[in-house]
Amino acid sequence: MAGQFESGRKTFSQMDISERDAVLQELSKSLRYKAMASRAASYPRWKDMEVLGERIERDHTTIAADLDGAAVTVIEAVRLLSEVEREFTETRH
């Protein structure tokens, strides 16, 4: 059925702390990698990505334990990653 999640997939709010922690750690890696690429390309938001990636790497267990705080952090990370992806896509065309 359209709009339904695939079997076995959970929304972030359905995840337990260890699952949220794993998501946060992956986001940290993505943010830090994109920050390096963005810095090399002189994208102005590279520092924001680096700072958030470092904060998540340092505090991921604490962040994961607070569902609301973790959700805000994930939204910010996804927003930054989306912005840089959009910027890189627009400059290639």
Q: Is residue 72 part of a domain?
A: yes
Q: Is residue 3 part of a domain?
A: no
Q: Which domain holds residue 30?
A: 16-92
For the chain, where are the alpha helices, taking DSSP H only? 17-40, 46-65, 67-92
Q: Is residue 4 part of a domain?
A: no
Q: Is residue 10 part of a domain?
A: no
The domain total for the chain is 1
10 Å Cβ neighbour count for 75? Answer: 11
Task: Report residues of the chain scoring pLDDT below 70.
Answer: 1-7, 91-93
Structure confidence by residue, pLDDT tens digits, 20-40: 999 999 999 999 999 999 999
pTM over 0.85: no
Q: Is residue 75 part of a domain?
A: yes
What's the rounded Cα separation, in Å, for the pair 78 and 23?
Answer: 12
